[in-house]
Copies of this chain bind each other. A is one copy, B any other.
Amino acid sequence: MTRIDDLMTPVPVVDEEVMAANIARVQEFFDGLGRNFRPHIKTHKIPELAEAQLVAGARGINCQKVTEAEVFADAGFDDILITYNILGAEKLARLAALNARVRLTVVADNATVVDGLADAFHPDRPLRILVECETGARRNGVQTPEAAVELARRITAAPGLIFEGLMTYPKPHGEAAVEAFFSETMALLDAAGLACPVRSHAGSPSLFNAADVPSATEHRAGTYIYNDRKMVREGHCRIEDCAMHILATVVSCPTPDRCVLDSGSKTLTSDLSGFADHGLIVEHPGARIVSLSEEHGVVDLSDCASRPAVGDRVRIIPNHTCVVSNMFDRMVFHRQGTITRTLPVRARGLVW
């Protein structure tokens, strides 16, 4: 089995050259900006790829869960930021064990989380904490610079915790709000006599606007390594910069205007990411994947110039690549269609 055309479908494949170019392009951008870049491993969940990101110049990695950080610590990574509020006795015990062997940082956006961390960590091996700030994404985060300072004080008061700075997961193109929140909070922290060495900004879709957040010291991003249909829509890249494709086969053409692919929600996931359909079929850009069941992708061909036949293979660019990675135990890589390696997606399915 040396060609991706011989693989059974559906299967995701990643183009080595496109991926390498994506890694280089973004790293060079942040090198030019003089800003640390910390890749989020959620997109690929593969230690070998994170290693390539570090070799290119990245500083540390970003995980979302304790279990993911454990996988990457086992693989030798020693600077890990977990951008999640961690709660509960067992997770805190595992976090402490992890902190004993790698340079670990986590985030917190509320007093309950800080108090749990304060109980679990001690001055002989303190844990670094960034305060998560909401800057428009309407997810987690303290709501005001004043609340950020209050939480920083609480962290500083805990002997086992170190207040390390600020973190946000912004909305795409939300640079102005991030800069306003960070700079205002830094001024308040400075007035309070609290050092704030790290200001961690993030996001793939508008990462090339990172210069608009001059107060940031680092940037976190994941999707840029593979890219996807959403990243094209957001203006980050071109279709040709999407490294991941789903190879699928047409299994049925029940009517002239409908065909069915063997790629459903177990492959593409149901993540629409703001689109009205479930991915872009490269060979038939007028086709629309209008509905998914687990193993079927139903395609509306009514606006499609070409008509695929049963047995045809097609390539799909997924709406969102990170969620596709999580569906598969292994990822296949290729160079111009020749398989180069198959890697286990070692951090797949880790939600704790």
Contacts and interface: CB of A to CB of B under 8 A. Distances in A.
B253 A293 contact: no
Nearest to A84: B295
A294 B139 CA distance: 12
Contacts of A88: 8-9, 249
A311 B258 contact: no
Contacts of A270: 269-272, 323
A109 B141 CA distance: 52
B249 A109 contact: no
| A42, A112, A263, A294, most chain B CB atoms within 10 A | A294
Contacts of A252: 85, 109-110, 113, 140-141
Within the oligomer, what is the number of copies of this chain? 2
B294 A326 contact: yes
B249 A87 contact: yes
A269 B249 CA distance: 24
B110 A253 contact: yes
A31 B170 CA distance: 57
A249 B265 CA distance: 26
A215 interface: no
A344 interface: no
Contacts of A109: 252, 254
A64 interface: yes
A310 B112 contact: yes
Contacts of A64: 294-295
Nearest to A258: B138
A44 interface: no
A221 interface: no
A205 interface: no
Given A266-B326, A266-B351, A270-B269, A139 B296 contact: yes
A291 B137 CA distance: 11
A314 interface: no
Contacts of A84: 251, 262, 295
Interface of A: 6, 8-11, 42, 64-65, 84-85, 87-88, 90-91, 109-110, 112-113, 116, 134, 138-143, 249, 251-255, 258, 260, 262-263, 265-267, 269-272, 291, 293-296, 298, 309-311, 322-323, 326-329, 349, 351-352
Question: 8 nearest interchain CB pairs?
Answer: A112-B310, A270-B270, A85-B251, A270-B271, A140-B252, A8-B352, A64-B295, A110-B310
28 contacts: A8-B90, A8-B352, A9-B88, A9-B352, A64-B295, A84-B262, A85-B310, A87-B249, A109-B252, A110-B253, A112-B309, A116-B311, A138-B291, A139-B254, A139-B260, A140-B251, A140-B252, A140-B296, A143-B254, A143-B255, A263-B351, A265-B269, A265-B323, A267-B351, A294-B323, A295-B351, A326-B327, A327-B351
